[in-house]
């Protein structure tokens, strides 16, 4: 019996060493913390109507995985793509670029693209262009989130009809008791009241609304967003169900850890699949 236990301990030790020496930059887990794989994650997305792919904006590995999953999924299902990183009032310029009506330089100068667009999001947009896949600019223009932060939801009533077309229909459904919004209140220490969570809710609601407007039969909508916008099945996920109940959604969350062999307790249940990425991977900015 002693020999058996010694053998078991040695097996565990050498397994840990082998894992550490493999130098894999990430590991996929289920929401319960069980080890999974890229292949299983891909298979799950094939069956969904919507994939919410949560990212850390500066993480090189998650951007690579977004592109790889999109390419692999496109071989099996018709797709629509969309992203937080392009705002709804730039949909015209995005369409012009996708249709070859303007070049990259013209797109750069006419749309408000993020500083890391070229390294992190251009590959996704260019893949959509080559494959003739629709790409939806889902986020509310940032200036209107700032309006909510300054004037509450009531400030949106002052906008023009055109401006309101770039966001979810008013009034915005809002539940301050959702844990994600409660956490924001705690982080603010009571300052600004509910205005910060409401500004976040406007973004979540708008992204969800434009996703729902562009869902198509027998098609998977893959949406790229900061992981906080869909963690714990809240944010965009919650709003999608407000606008279209029973939508089939697969969520993917990103976390960074020193030890990628397990999911730390605070990250459990963040999403259907949790990408645990080595905290030392290269940052894109």
Rounded Cα distance between 35 and 264, Å, is 13
pTM (global) more than 0.85: yes
Over residues 99-130, the pLDDT tens digits come to: 999 999 999 999 999 999 999 999 999 999 99
| Confidence (pLDDT) at 113 | 97
Q: What is the mean pLDDT of residues 52-71?
A: 98
Over residues 224-266, the pLDDT tens digits come to: 999 999 999 999 999 999 999 999 999 999 999 999 999 999 9
User: Distance between the two ends of the chain, CA-based, in angstroms?
Assistant: 54
211 close to 50: Cβ distance less than 8 angstroms: yes
CATH number for domain 25-278, candidates 3.40.50.11550, 3.30.930.10, 3.40.50.970, 3.40.50.300: 3.40.50.11550
Question: Residue 8: is its pLDDT beyond 50?
Answer: no
| Confidence (pLDDT) at 94 | 98
| Confidence (pLDDT) at 204 | 98
44 close to 100: Cβ distance less than 8 angstroms: no
| Confidence (pLDDT) at 190 | 61
| Confidence (pLDDT) at 54 | 98
Over residues 160-194, the pLDDT tens digits come to: 999 999 999 999 999 999 999 999 988 877 666 79
Give the number of other Cβ atoms within 10 Å of residue 42's Cβ. Answer: 16
Give the number of other Cβ atoms within 10 Å of residue 68's Cβ. Answer: 12
Q: What share of the chain in percent tops pLDDT 90? A: 88
Q: Strand, coil or helix: what is 224?
A: strand
Question: Residue 198: is its pLDDT beyond 70?
Answer: yes
Identify the H or E element spanning 270: none
What CA dihedral angle connects 218, 130, 136 and 101, to 10 degrees?
-130
Q: What are phi and psi of 90, to 5 degrees?
A: -105, 15
| Confidence (pLDDT) at 16 | 43
| Confidence (pLDDT) at 187 | 84
132 dihedral zone (left: phi>0; alpha: psi -120 to 50; beta): left
Domain boundaries along the sequence of the chain = 25-278
120 close to 83: Cβ distance less than 8 angstroms: no
Over residues 127-154, the pLDDT tens digits come to: 999 999 999 999 999 999 999 999 999 9
């Amino acid at each position: 019996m002693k020999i058996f236990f010694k053998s078991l301990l040695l097996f565990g030790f050498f397994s840990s060493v082998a894992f550490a020496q493999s130098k894999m930059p990430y590991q996929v887990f289920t929401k319960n913390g069980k080890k999974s794989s890229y292949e299983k994650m891909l298979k799950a997305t094939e069956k969904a109507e919507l994939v919410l792919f949560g990212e850390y904006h500066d993480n090189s590995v998650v951007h690579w995985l977004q592109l790889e999953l999109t390419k692999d999924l496109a071989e099996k299902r018709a797709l629509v793509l969309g992203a937080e990183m392009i705002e709804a009032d730039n949909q015209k310029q995005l369409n012009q670029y996708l249709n070859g009506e303007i070049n990259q330089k013209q797109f750069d100068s006419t749309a408000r693209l993020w500083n890391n667009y070229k390294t992190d999001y251009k590959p996704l947009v260019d893949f959509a262009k080559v494959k003739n896949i629709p790409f939806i600019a889902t986020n509310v223009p940032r200036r209107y989130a700032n309006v909510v932060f300054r004037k509450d939801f009531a400030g949106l009533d002052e906008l023009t009809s055109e401006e309101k077309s770039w966001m979810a229909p008013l009034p915005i459904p809002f539940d301050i008791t959702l844990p994600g919004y409660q956490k924001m209140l705690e982080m603010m220490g009571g300052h600004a009241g509910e205005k910060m969570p409401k500004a976040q809710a406007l973004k979540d609601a708008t992204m969800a609304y434009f996703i729902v407007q562009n869902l198509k039969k027998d098609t998977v909508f893959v949406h790229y967003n900061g992981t906080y916008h869909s963690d714990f099945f809240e944010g965009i996920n919650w709003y999608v169900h407000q606008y279209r109940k029973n939508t089939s959604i697969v969520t993917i969350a990103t976390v960074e850890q020193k030890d990628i062999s397990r999911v730390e307790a605070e990250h459990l249940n963040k999403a259907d699949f949790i990408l645990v990425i080595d905290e030392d991977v290269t940052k894109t900015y």
